Every structure is written in structure tokens, then in C-alpha cells.
Amino acid sequence: MEGLERLEGLTELGGPSLFEVVGAERLAAAAAAALDHVLRVWGIRASSSFWWVRSCREEVIGIMRLLMERQSMEGRDASAGEGFFGLIREQVGGQAPSARQKRLSLIFLVALPYLQAKIDSITRRSEDDELEEASMPAGNFEPPVEGRLWAQAIGLPAAGNAWRPPSSPAWTWLDWARAVWPWTQALKEGCVLAYQMGYLFGKTPFSSPWLHILGLKLRRMSSEDFIRLEQMLKSARAAQFAWANKHAMPIRLLLRALFKFWHFANDNFKFLLLLLAFVVKLADWWYTNEEVRDETAYIPPPPIRPRPADDGLKLVSSREHCTICNQVRKNPAAATSGYVFCYPCIFKYAEEHSCCPITRLPCSVQDIRRLYESA
């Protein structure tokens, strides 16, 4: 019964429910994932001058989280997600968090998620590279006929050369990271789950191991807390504007404008979060439709005609005659080069020589394709 009350938030101590605690923890991660998607799409669609947006998006998200969480901790004694659900942090004895506890909170709110996202990005990128290499067959590999034709048309090395994958090191630090990182993540998630279960059944006042390390717990914000935090927020903002007024005139206006914009963003965090979700969904819909339009409008060019070999048969003047028998084609069939002959002629020639009579490109009996000009 006690666990059900804590689950629904009906405890007499005014403690938040498990749904509120988990929601507050996941809110910042969901906003970071949405912003990561926006930056990735922008980095792909933008010009080459903004290439760094896609490669450094973890740093951009980390800086924005640092500014947002620092402002929230200084003005609300809570993280941005906890403030969204009307929660507040306090010490076990009921005192407000100290300045040291607020600074340490930023490590768990900003630095730890940044390191996790960075390691995930590095290990995921290396795994994607290995998958691309693994998709190519190992050992001696002869590319298909179409690939050999394109290689000859654009002047690449002659067909038939064996392809070999690049040699990979036996064991690198990325291999160690990929081997250890999933277990580290599982240990962390298991520890968080254990604290949440203990909080649910009233065995601990701490809803996460990070709050236990900091010596802080969560509770719902009261009217006295709201008045106290409003006064503290006003004094902090007044100190910021006073610091901006100490600078020269152009810098003073710029700093005041930045502070006003940042205060507006923090005061309207809930609405801006919903707006961000709407923008992400709108961008997904727009770019998806644009890709569909581009795919339907684009018609690929036909392949380049392969060049006749010096020792191959000479082309006949009439387009309706077979180059092998020099007569009107009967039962037309195409070789791998695209040239058309009589089916009996090209079948016999490919069976004896295993190549196209004009281009000398490899062609077996199985590569011959019949052409049906009428039903």
C-alpha cells in the first residue's frame, strides 16, 4: 500500500510520485535528443560552412544544457526537468541546497550526460564503419558485370582485379570501449532502477544515486518556496544587469539583450519545449516529403556505352544486322556489354570464348539476356 501511495504521489510528506521523478529525469534527455536531431538534419542540409554543427552537436547541446541547468539551479533550486514538474531540491535536514551542492549538481546534470553521449557517438560511429567494411565480401572478389562495365567506361583498373578489404588491427582501444561500455551502462541503469524501487517502497528518501551522493532529496514546491525563489531570482537577475551596466555602451546593450532573452527562455521553458517538439515533427514531415519529391522527379542517366576493343569484331553499318553473322538479327539477345546479336550467334560465341565479341568484356552463357520486341 505504501508503494502504491508513493507511485501515485499520495504520501503525507508531500513527496513527489515516481512518475514525476522519472518524468523529470527523462525530460532533459528527451529535449536533448530532439535538439540533436535538429542539429543533425541542419548539419546535413546546411552548406559546407556549417559542417561543424553535425560533428560537434554534443558540445553544442552540452553548452546549452549547462546554461539552462545553471540558471535553473540558481533560480529554482532544481533542475530544468524538476522545475517543469514543480519539484525542488533540499538537504536531508530540510535546508536549502548549498552553493557547493549546486555546483556538484551541474556535474551530474551536464557533464555526465555529455560524456555518455560522446562515448555513445564514438562507439556507434566506429561500429557503423565496421558494418560498412563487413558488408563487402572477404577474400578474392570479382565485381559483377555491371561494375566492370562502369569501371571500364570511366577508366578505372581493368576488370577481374581482386578486391581485398583493408587490414584491421587485432585489438584497439575502441574495441575495449565497445566491450566495456555496455556493461558500464547496464550497471548504471541497474543502480538507478534499484534506487527508484527503494524510493517507491519507502526504503530510501533518495530517488536516484546522484541525489544520494549529493545529500539532496526532492519534494514538491510550496507557496513559501515559490515566494522565496521569486525573491532570490529577482536579486540574481538584478545582479546580472548590474554587472552588465559596468561595461561600455555597445557591450552593455548586447549583454542586457542577451540576459533578457535568456530570462524569457527560462520563464517560458514549458512553452518553448512544446514548440521545439512541434518544430522537430514539422521538420521531419517537411524533409521526408522533400526526399519523396526528389526521388520521384529524378531520372538517372543511361549508362555509358562501353568502347569496342581493338581486337574485337567491327560494328556493322546497319543497326538491324548481327555483328557475328552479318545478317538481319533473329531472336535478338543482349550480351553484358549491351550490344545485341542473334541469340544462336551470341550463345555459341559466349560458350566458346566467354566474352563479348565486340568489347571483349567477360560474358558467359548465363549472362545473355533475350529481348522480346512484341508480345
State yes or no: pLDDT of 7 exceeds 70. Answer: no
pLDDT of residue 198: 92
Number of C-beta neighbours around residue 177 at 10 A:
15
Q: Tell me the residue type at 100.
A: R
Q: Alpha-carbon distance 322 to 320, whole Å?
A: 7
The phi and psi torsions of 355 (rounded to 5 degrees) equal -160, 170
Under DSSP, is residue 89 helix (H, G, I), strand (E, B) or coil?
Answer: strand
Instruction: Record the cell numbers describing residue 245, joined without a space.
Output: 551596466
Q: Is the pLDDT assigned to residue 10 strictly greater than 60? A: no
Inter-residue contact 67 to 262 (CB < 8 Å): yes
Kindly report the average pLDDT of the chain as a whole number: 77
Q: What is the pLDDT of residue 191?
A: 93
Find the helix packing angle between 173-200 and 112-134, rounded to 10°. 130
- Asked if residue 126 has pLDDT above 70, the reply is no
Diameter of the chain measured on Cα atoms: 103
CB-based contacts of 124, cutoff 8 Å, min separation 6: none
**Pick from 2-6, 92-96, 187-191, 202-206: least confident:** 2-6
Alpha carbon distance 262, 256 (integer Å): 10
Query: What is the spatial distance between Cα 198 and Cα 187, in angstroms, rounded to a whole number?
Result: 16
Higher-pLDDT residue of 63 and 165 is: 63
Q: Give mean pLDDT, residues 9-17.
A: 58
Q: Which three cell numbers stand for residue 280?
A: 522537430
Q: Does position 180 have pLDDT exceeding 80, yes or no?
A: yes
- Give the per-residue pLDDT at 333: 92
Asked if 255 contacts 247 with a C-beta cutoff of 8 angstroms, the reply is: yes
CA angle in degrees (0–180, nearest 5) for 272-276-280? 170
> What end-to-end distance do the CA atoms of the chain give, in Å?
78
38, 280 in Cβ contact below 8 A?
Answer: yes
CA distance linking residue 222 with residue 234, whole number of Å: 18
What is 304-374's CATH topology?
Herpes Virus-1 (3.30.40)
Residue 13: its pLDDT value, please?
46
User: Angle at CA 320, nearest 5°, toward 314 and 326?
Assistant: 45
Whether 156 shows a pLDDT value over 70: the answer reads no
Q: Do residues 72 and 109 lie in contact, with contact meaning Cβ atoms separated by under 8 Å?
A: no
- Please report, for residues 318, 341, 365, 371, the alpha-carbon distance to residue 331 in angstroms, rounded to integers and kept in the order given: 17, 8, 15, 8
- Owner of C-alpha cell 583493408: 166
Ordered by start, the domain boundaries in the chain are: 12-132+174-221, 304-374
* Residue type at 347 in one-letter notation: F
The residue that leads in pLDDT, 161 or 351, is: 351
pLDDT of 131 above 50: no
pLDDT for 46 equals 60
Residues 196 and 206: their CA atoms lie apart, in Å, by 8
Q: Which helix (H) or strand (E) holds 340?
A: strand 340-342
Q: What pLDDT does 47 receive?
A: 55
Helix (H) or strand (E) holding 123: helix 112-134
Q: Pull the grid cell for residue 370.
A: 533475350
For the segment 43-72, the average pLDDT, to the nearest whole number, is: 75
Handedness of CA 316, 318, 319, 320 (dihedral sign): negative
CA distances from 308 to 170, 314, 338 (A): 46, 8, 11
- How many whole angstroms separate alpha carbon 80 and alpha carbon 109? 10
| pLDDT tens, position by position, 276-319 | 777 767 766 776 665 555 555 567 777 788 888 888 888 888 88
- Rounded to an integer, the average pLDDT of 1-6 is 48
pLDDT score recorded for residue 178: 79
pLDDT tens digits, residue range 194-246?
999 999 888 888 989 999 999 999 988 888 888 887 887 788 888 888 888 88
